Structure 1
Amino acid sequence: MARLAILAGNGDLPLRLAGLRADAVQICFSGVQHVLGRDAEEHAFEKMGALFAALKDKGVSEVVMAGAMSRPPLDPTAFDDVMTALAPRLLAAMQGGDDALLRLVVEIFEEQGFKVLGAHEVDPELTVCAGLLAGAPLSDHSLKDAERAIDILSALGPLDVGQGAVVENGLCLGIETLQGTDALLGFVAQTPKTLRKGGGVFVKAPKRGQDLRVDMPTIGPNTVKAAAAAGLSAIVLAADAVIILAQDETLSLAQAAGITLIAQDF
């Protein structure tokens, strides 16, 4: 089996992958939160040449990027030769959305001879096939709201805006932006009752053309709790294209809250 390196951001996903692949090299980055233990090696984004060399010295041929990573400030005076050569491309990509930057990061690792895997390729049980996962089947009303949310996400996909939308009674209550799912659902929860009629559907799906190896949409127990607090009746996921963390707990929480959780082909 090829040796894997886990490039870790924040959250539980890197831990899960590390538990599955005990031989994997665990990498964290200066200025980026993570929950890995002492086995993780810390590297600086300014020293990408040192990172590539370290991975190759350890016989790594595959890498997976897992967990949320912020964009820490870079110190150009600390760039090594490799990073200095990469900087113009990276800085240009940073002016675009996350998709452009992540596609470039994948390209750079591939240029260095590494195969970039998605977390779902390391652990296929992270995603689910189409089907009802918890709660009752979607009502006709909720189905129309879900279709409306899917249309909104499809229209916004080329603009690299977000991976989620909430629709209730045909009206869009919120769109996921850079702040993420929790912020979206928190915003919906604060919507005045005079503007709502109850229920509502949260749809989570990749942006069109998104590289699922490095930025697959993710939900978990906190998503269900936030959806319940926002008074939503359903969560609709793109089948085989959204990671469900702590799957048993997530489905149990949805069932207990009376929230329909369903995966479907878009």
Structure 2
Amino acid sequence: MTARADQGRLAIIAGSGMLPVYVAEAARASGENPVILPLLHEADQRWEGFDTAPMGVGDVAGLARNVKQFGIDRVVMSGGVRKRPAFRDIHVNFAFLRKLPHAVRTLLSGGDDAVLKMVIGLIESQGCRVIGAHEIVPQLLAERGPLGAHAPTEDDRRDILKAAQAADALGRLDVGQGAVSVGGRIVALEGVEGTDRMLTRVADLRAEGRISARRKGVLVKLCKPQQDIRADLPTIGLSTVENAAKAGLAGIAVQAGRALLLQRQETLHRADALGIFICGIDPEDGETPW
């Protein structure tokens, strides 16, 4: 991606984790001069050398001011957000008012995908175009096939198929993106707690003898079928590998072209050292998704 002279500035709404840093560095390397909008109580990185304007998760009026002040015309949403804004944290402007009833209903009862689509609509109502993090850092996308030194066995492939079916069903319900299968049995589904805490739950179940010690199992993460891929693509990194190993799993499968692999070299080296495979799959391919 190369900045054009007739473009406005790119804004990066930064939640927690390293993804916003990768996006900012890649954008700058391509000739952009990005503005960082760190989310209060969520963003956890330092932003020396960048123009920054911290804002609350629900501060639509603040976003509108930043759009005008910095000449922003494109926005990337990146990083984790643990909590939805409370109603008292929503600060509106005129362009937002007619969307307020729908936004409140979505925040109260919608799944994560519904909330993200609502947020994208609110950003676009301020005159900005929302683009995906993968458009700026395509090198983070997982490719199809084994990505490290280890590959899934036939037993692992059966677990991949089973967990992929569960993750797809879970995604259609707008609940989560991940599932764990051990010996062809679904033992965990990702909810609002996120992948790492789900894996901790699997480790606890194994320690309690609720999961067979003889069978390893697989974590699969897929993009939700109805998901807007401009936000919240499935993401794995070092912590995912560490927690998968603690849970006694054989490996991790993610959707090729629709999942991000953070700290790629470090993550793959650690997976290799722990004997964990990481592979990209295409769930549309049925019996041979890899």
TM-score, structure 2 as length reference:
0.86
**Deviation of 1:84 (Å):** 4.4
2:168 and 2:222 in contact (8 A); partners too: no
What residue is the counterpart of 1:223 in the other structure? Answer: 240
Q: Displacement of 1:48 after TM fit? A: 1.4
* CA distance, structure 2, for counterparts of residue 20 and residue 93 of structure 1: 33
Q: Percent identity?
A: 35
Match for residue 116 of structure 1?
Answer: 130
Q: Does the alignment pair 1:11 with 2:17?
A: yes
Q: Kindly indicate whether the alpha-carbon contact (under 8 Å) linking 2:220 and 2:252 is maintained by their aligned counterparts in 1.
A: yes
Partner in structure 1 of residue 268 of structure 2: 251
Counterpart of 1:62 in structure 2 is: 74
Displacement of 1:230 after TM fit? 0.7
Deviation at 1:36, TM superposition (A): 3.5
Contact residue 161 and residue 176 of structure 1 kept, 8 A: yes
Q: Which residue number in structure 2 is paired with residue 75 of structure 1?
A: 88
Q: 1:128 to 1:78 in 2, by over 3 A?
A: closer
Alpha-carbon spacing, 1:215–1:78, altered in 2? closer, same or farther (3 Å): closer
1:150 Cα offset (Å): 0.8
For the 8 Å contact 1:47–1:83, the answer to whether it is kept is no
Give the alignment partner of residue 160 of structure 1, picking from 160, 164, 174.
174
Q: Aligned residue for 2:34?
A: 24
Residue 219 of structure 2 contacts residue 252 of structure 2 at CA under 8 Å; is this kept in 1? yes
* CA gap 1:189/1:45 in 2 versus in 1, 3 angstroms: closer
Deviations 1:77-111 (A, max 9, x none): 96554554442121111111011111111122223
Q: CA RMSD in A?
A: 1.9
2:147 to 112, 116, 133: 133
Rounded to whole Å, the distance in 2 between the matches of 1:158 and 1:205 is: 11
Contact 2:142 2:254 in 1 (8 A): no
Q: 1:194 to 1:28 in 2, by over 3 A?
A: closer
**One-letter amino acid matched to 1:257:** L
Q: How does 1:81-120 map to 2 (within 5 A)?
A: 81-94=94-107, 95-120=109-134
Note if contact 1:133-1:263 (Cα within 8 Å) is conserved in structure 2.
yes
- Aligned residues between the structures: 266
1:179 is aligned with what amino acid? E
CA contact (8 A) 2:252 2:278 kept: yes
Could you say if the C-alpha distance between residues 174 and 45 of structure 1 is closer, same or farther in structure 2, counting changes exceeding 3 Å? Answer: closer
* Counterpart residue identity of residue 195, structure 1: I
Unaligned runs of 5+ in 1: none
Question: Equivalents in 1 of 2:122, 2:76: separation in Å?
Answer: 14
Does 1:33 pair with 2:49? no
Taking structure 1 as reference, are residues 174 and 194 closer, same or farther at Cα in structure 2, changes over 3 Å only?
closer
Matched position secondary structure for 2:268: helix
Question: Structure 1 residue 195 and structure 2 residue 211: aligned?
Answer: yes
Distance in 2, matches of 1:50 and 1:257, equals 45
Post-superposition offset of 1:265: 1.1
- Please give the secondary structure, in 1, of the residue aligned with 2:106: helix
Quote the Cα distance in structure 2 between the aligned partners of 1:77 and 1:182.
29
Secondary structure, counterpart of 1:208 in structure 2? coil
Which residue in the other structure is 2:288 paired with? none
Distance (whole Å) between structure 2 residues aligned to residue 77 and residue 136 of structure 1:
47
**Among candidates 239, 256, 280, match of residue 239 of structure 1:** 256
Counterpart code for 1:36 = R
Q: 1:210 aligns with which of 227, 231, 237?
A: 227
Q: 2-side partners of 1:126 and 1:150: how far apart?
A: 21
Q: Does 1:183 align with 2:197?
A: yes
What is the CA deviation profile of residues 141-176 of structure 1, one whole-angstrom value per residue up to 9, with x for unaligned ones?
A: 111111001111122222111111110111111111
Number of the residue aligned with 2:286? none
In 1, Cα distance between equivalents of 2:11 and 2:210: 51
TM-score normalised according to structure 1 size: 0.93
CA contact (8 A) 1:11 1:35 kept: yes
CA distance 1:93–1:77, change in 2 (3 Å): closer
Residue 29 to residue 195, structure 1, CA distance change in 2 (3 Å): closer
